[in-house]
Amino acid sequence: MSITANIRELQAKLPPQTRLVAVSKYKPNEDIQTAYDAGQRMFGESRVQELVAKHEALPADIEWHFIGHLQKNKVKYLAPFVQLIHGVDSLQLLQQIDKEGKKNGRIIDCLLQFHIAQEETKFGLSLEEAHELLASSAFGELKHTRICGVMGMASYTDNQPQVQAEFAQLRSIFQQLQVEFFGTEPSFKEISMGMSGDYELAIAQGSTLIRVGSALFGSR
């Protein structure tokens, strides 16, 4: 199927609380423009240089999300325009984003990434580490970042009950943090989970942002 048909079909089946981040990493600008012309506005990239180049070349009203592992020394390239940074997994990174947010006169929206998969290799915080981060005085001093929710990646497996349990765990983490740290703050609202192979399970567990690449653009 074409990119246009893939976008339309997926958009049409999303429940109202779930939005699509089209993951366009490694894909050419033409593919992004095609998706844009089909009405898609949120795009996700995992490499800083690639994201910056695409931001410069493509329509200005695209909302660019950074979904990869962000190195502190590269935050400055994203800070002027990035819409949401999904993968924040340390106070040090958050402090760097805050510093660059200040320089750019803006508040940068971020998600805390959690380690929910069984695999050892995936990045992310534990609930305990997140508690420590959010309760710290250093976090309380940040003025140019805003934590809008949580993000996670499930195990890469055909075992659906396992994937479902991991997504349920992320939703439970979101709910606990909301109660303990964010109260009724309306900006704390995002649960970023679900990719091409598992977005249906993620939606069923309350995902508000699915990050889908290959199911839209073809394999990489």
Ligand X SMILES: *Cc1c(COP(=O)(O)O)cnc(C)c1O
CB distance 165 to 126 below 8 Å: no
Instruction: Name which of 64 and 142 has its Cβ closer to ligand X.
Output: 64
Tokens 């940040």 found at: 142
In order of 71, 84, 139, 169, 181, the CA distances from 145 in angstroms are 16, 10, 10, 25, 15
Single out the residue of 52, 70, 142, 195 in contact with ligand X (rule: CB under 6 A).
Answer: 195
The three state secondary structure string of 110-141 is EEEEECCCCCCCCCCECHHHHHHHHHCHHHHC
Q: Is 93 exposed, middle or buried (0-12, 13-18, 19+ CB in 10 A)?
A: buried
Q: Which stretch binds ligand X (CB under 6 A): 114-122, 157-165, 172-180, 210-218?
A: 210-218
212 binds ligand X (CB under 6 A): yes
Q: Which residues pair with 63 in a beta bridge?
A: 42
Instruction: Name which of 135 and 204 has its Cβ closer to ligand X.
Output: 204
Interaction residues for ligand X, span 58-87 (CB under 6 A): 67-68
Interaction residues for ligand X, span 106-135 (CB under 6 A): none
23 binds ligand X (CB under 6 A): yes
Single out the residue of 124, 149, 206, 213 in contact with ligand X (rule: CB under 6 A).
Answer: 213
Single out the residue of 6, 46, 96, 207 in contact with ligand X (rule: CB under 6 A).
Answer: 46
Interaction site with ligand X (CB under 6 A): 23, 25, 46, 67-68, 153, 195-197, 211-215
